[in-house]
Amino acid sequence: MLLILLMTLGMALGADVPSSTNTYFTLADKAHMKKLVEPGFQLQDLAGAYHAVLGYNLIKEPIVKIAETCEFLIKEAGKTPLLPEQVYYIASTWKTLGKCQQKSLPLSALTKVLTSTLEKPDSTPKSIYHSLNSLVLLGQKISDSTKTKIAKTLEESLKKDGNLLNLGYIFHIAAELGPTGAFAFDHIEEVMAQADETDGQFLQFEGGLPVTSLVTNGIYKLASSLKKKLPLKYEQIVKLANYFLQRLSVKSPEGAVSLLSSIDVMANHPSEKPICITLSKNGAVISEEQPMVYVKVCDLFGNPVPSSSNLVANTATKVGDDVVVMSKKNFQVTSDKTIFGLNFMSISPEPGFYNIAVSGQVSNTVKVKVLTKIEVNFLEIGTADADQTTQPKLVKVSYPEKCNKKIEADFQQKLVIRFALKNASKNKSMRVHQAFVRLSSISSTEKDQPEIIFVAESDASNLYKFDMPVGTAAKNFGYHSGEYNVELIIGDALLKNSLKWTIATVSLKFPEPGTSEVAKASTYKQKPYVYAPKPEIQHMFREPEKRPPAFVSNLFTALCLSPLLILLILWVKVGINISNFPVSPSAILFHLGLGSIFTLFGVFWLKLNMFTTLQYLLGLGLVTFLSGNRLLSQIAHNRKSSR
């Protein structure tokens, strides 16, 4: 019983784990890929023609310029010398066209290039891949001895360099070798261990799209050739597919063909096919007018998936509070076999965002937005004394009408607005993200029209209040007295009918600037010219510290040099035996080096920096050390000889 309970719990928890892709190859993606590879039909080079023909074939687009392309391939095949990669482009394009049979390629010359590459013991996996595949595409048989030799070469290559690019080529080569290439199958697990995972959704290999495509295609091709089960977990397949679908904005023909070939290989695998569960275009936004959630279930190319009719919404939870509002509801099949619908408004959900855990053959979580209509429950506008000594005089206004009387307010009063909003479908008060009151001048020209937008704040009971002391706000209006339109602007991501409503006309009388009647400085942050240039910032360096007088500096210098003067005086008094100076290269170099070091210290004090000084000191110190060592050895030897 405990085991059954744990298994049931595991299945319940695992049901919400996404096991499908989030997108698929759309018609817009097809048009993008076609645009990328189309320039190759100008037949300027082999690579361009190869990518154009193969790209058109992968997106199921009729190939154009077939006759011209055949002539171009024959012309290029007659050139010498040809590289194995060039021959591969010719052979693959020729095979894909399939309508050049009335003409022929110079098979003997091409085969010679390919076989010579296979016979070289130092051929790289890349050159072997192009050569072997070209021979197969040209209908040439490969002997068993050649296959064995190639297998040994590849195994030796793996020992020397088993990087991902080489392994990708080796998987493709081993697929053509058949049972002889079975050794490569054991390396697939090793390769998958090197895959990089991003955000728990994408799987790729170092080297980006080209390497990831080469390795993935090679794994699929090798498993199919050996008739073995694909050695990948389904979650790895989905993450690889997510990576390729994420790169649909690729910018080069090479990237487009690599991407398309991998999606094609994964979508057409007989058993392990990734399935996409995603929201349909019309199913992401829910309202009373459009109550259905539409989910698309398809393969990587947007085609219907067999046995996908049973689609269930396991749970629906509101984002933010994780409250479950729906469970175990079946989707209904529509006329489009890939689209499934569910009436989400049947549960009367609150406005907001919801995560719906969808499961069928695979599972995924989709996010929908529930919209609502809003109504103005009531609105009152009027004036009150700025010092709040009397009750406000308010007039009720009904939406969408405008107040039929002009409201007047001077600098000793304040403009007051009170209003509340309600959810139209549920008839209950609600709060919105954006509630603004806009005051714009009527009399001024459009260029000089003063206007200010204020934020209306709500209290705990969802009642919105707006108070504007006229005298305090005078500076923000530039002291432009006159008539102003008062507008209420309501907006929210969850509203189906955001509104802009002209409530009333108000006559504002501001004090003259500079008079004693001007109120205290405005507490509002809005300013009429907030985007005007700011004053230039002038950077000021720290002023240098005051230097001592020249007399003090000279006196300090003399005191520093006094020991040298004392040394010279003592030398004169004691007497210097110049005749005992050993005349030898080491003695001369030592004293010159020592003098140079002292000179360098002086120059460092005057102008050099530490790094330059150390560079010079390294050379001078080395010479001085070696010559000094030699000089001391000579002196010691002479003293020993004299004894």
Residue 548, burial from CB neighbour count under 10 angstroms (0-12, 13-18, 19+): exposed
pLDDT of residue 450 exceeding 70: no
Q: Are residues 384 and 364 in the same domain?
A: no
Considering 370, 402, 434, which residue would you say is the last residue of a domain? 370
Q: Are residues 420 and 440 in the same domain?
A: yes
CA distance 44 to 182: 40
Give me the number of domains the chain comprises.
Answer: 4
Average pLDDT, the chain: 85
pLDDT of residue 52: 93
pLDDT of residue 643: 65
Q: What is the mean pLDDT of residues 546-562?
A: 88
Helices (H), 247-275: 253-267
Q: Are residues 399 and 448 in the same domain?
A: yes
Q: Are residues 290 and 383 in the same domain?
A: no
pLDDT of residue 237 exceeding 70: yes
Q: Residue 321 belongs to what domain range?
A: 276-370
Q: Are residues 86 and 219 in the same domain?
A: yes
Peptide bond into 400 cis (omega under 30): yes
Band of the pLDDT at 535, cuts 50, 70, 90?
A: confident
CA distance 389 to 350: 42
Q: What is the CA radius of gyration of the chain?
A: 43
Q: Are residues 366 and 379 in the same domain?
A: no
Q: Are residues 187 and 262 in the same domain?
A: yes
Q: How far is CA 101 from the centre of its chain?
A: 47
Considering 201, 235, 267, which residue would you say is the last residue of a domain? 267
Q: What is the mean pLDDT of residues 228-245?
A: 91
User: Does 424 fall in a domain?
Assistant: yes
Q: Are residues 26 and 80 in the same domain?
A: yes
What pTM, to 2 d.p., does this model score?
0.69
- Give helix 66-77 / helix 84-97 axis angle, nearest 10°: 150
Sign of the Cα torsion 550, 556, 560, 562 reads positive
The residue among 186, 169, 185, 258 whose CA lies nearest residue 223 is 185
Structure-token pair, residue 12: 């319940």
User: Does 599 fall in a domain?
Assistant: yes
The answer to which of 202-216, 481-495, 509-523 has the lowest mean pLDDT is 509-523
Segment 572-583, tens digit of pLDDT: 888 777 667 777
Q: What is the mean pLDDT of residues 28-48?
A: 92
CATH of the domain at 157: 1.50.10.20
Segment 279-317, tens digit of pLDDT: 987 778 888 888 999 999 999 998 888 766 788 999 999
Conformation bin of residue 449: beta by default, left when phi > 0, alpha when psi is -120 to 50: beta
Segment 42-95, tens digit of pLDDT: 989 999 999 999 999 999 999 888 888 888 988 888 887 889 899 999 999 989
Give the phi and the psi of residue 170 in degrees, each rounded to 5.
-65, -40
Q: Which long-range contacts (CB under 8 A, 24 or more apart) does 79-85 make?
A: 80/109, 81/113, 82/110, 82/113, 83/113, 84/113, 84/114, 84/117, 84/127, 84/130, 84/131, 84/134, 85/126, 85/127, 85/130
pLDDT of residue 531 exceeding 90: no
User: Does 533 fall in a domain?
Assistant: no
pLDDT of residue 449: 59
Considering 217, 241, 267, which residue would you say is the last residue of a domain? 267
Q: What percent of the chain has pLDDT over 70?
A: 92
C-alpha triplet 138, 144, 148: angle, nearest 5°? 110
Band of the pLDDT at 336, cuts 50, 70, 90?
A: confident
69 and 43 Cβ atoms separated by less than 8 Å: yes
pLDDT of residue 102: 63
Q: Are residues 366 and 389 in the same domain?
A: no
Q: In 3-state terms, what secondary structure has residue 563?
A: helix
